[in-house]
Amino acid sequence: MTAVQGTTVDIPTDDGTADAYLSHPGDGGPHPAVLLYMDAFGLRPRLKAMADRLAEGGYTVLVPNVFYRHGRAPVVELPEFIDVSSRPAVFERLGPIMQDLTPDRAMADAGAYLRWLADSPAAADGPVALTGYCMGAGLALRTAGTYPERVAAAAGFHGGRLASDSPDSPHLVAEHITAELYFGHADEDPSLPPEQIQRLEDALTAAGVRHRCEVYAGAHHGFTQADTSAYHREGDERHWAALLDLLKRTF
């Protein structure tokens, strides 16, 4: 297992400075870069541990606090374990913050994250891979379509509203995507009902995007997050296998 180094870094953006967690192998050399998009609960120990696990596999991983406009992480105070009883109060605070991150702002920020990685000595030259969780899956999809020349692969897990009927739904960027995509959907996820799963599949197929979409039976929205009651160990292990396989094919 490769020893990793994890540090907090600051990334200049059009609207200020985004704090982020950077994890990479400790050998001092450049490695293929992965941009990891957080879920709504934000940059916290669980996501840092996930970044470290990817770094152990030989990747340089950047996890930006996409809510930086509202403060450095943690933007919202969280319990150590997020259960059903604590979720309503947390989302009452997160709701306005999430709405404030418009697609235009998110994609301007994505450009800043990608430029930072391109300039980082810890990141190898060339395109990067993306992985995103919950709301981060939508950000990954949108980034792949907005910066196709910079994204070689993108994955999303238990994403919500990926193919809604909104005029700015993430799936509408499909025609611009050149990356290979993988999505692991949660079974019976109210934020991604069967009709949206099919709409996403149809859009990617029509656009000729190399992709694979799978529904994880028995897994709930948020199934990769071990610090929440939504965690599903089998789904999480399946997610790691699929993600690492995608990265191996990409790099």
**Catalytic member of 19, 109, 189, 236:** 189
CB contact set of 101 (below 8 Å; sequence gap of 6+): 66, 67, 69
Q: Are 144 and 151 in contact (CB under 8 A)?
A: yes
**Catalytic member of 19, 31, 134, 236:** 134
Q: Are 70 and 96 in contact (CB under 8 A)?
A: no
Q: Are 169 and 162 in contact (CB under 8 A)?
A: yes
Overall number of domains in the chain: 1
pLDDT category, 1, cuts 50, 70, 90? low
Across residues 66-76, what is the average pLDDT? 97
**pLDDT tens column, 146-178:** 999 999 999 999 999 999 999 999 999 999 999
C-alpha angle 223/224/226, rounded to 5°?
A: 100
User: Letter for the amino acid at 151?
Assistant: V
3-state secondary structure at position 155 = strand
CATH code for the domain in which residue 50 is found: 3.40.50.1820
H helix or E strand, kind and range, residue 140 = helix 135-146
Distance CA 66, CA 54 (A): 20
Across residues 3-30, what is the average pLDDT? 97
**Strand-pair partners of 213:** 183
pTM of the model: 0.98
213 flagged as catalytic: no
189 flagged as catalytic: yes
Cβ neighbours around 111 below 10 Å, total = 15
Task: Answer with the residue of higher pLDDT: 188 or 12.
Answer: 12
Domain that holds residue 204: 4-250
Q: Using DSSP bridges, classify how beta strands 16-25 and 60-64 pair: parallel, antiparallel or unpaired.
A: antiparallel
Share of the chain above pLDDT 90, in %: 98
**pLDDT tens column, 25-65:** 999 899 999 999 999 999 999 999 999 999 999 999 999 99
pLDDT category, 188, cuts 50, 70, 90? confident
**Catalytic member of 221, 232, 236, 239:** 221
24 flagged as catalytic: no
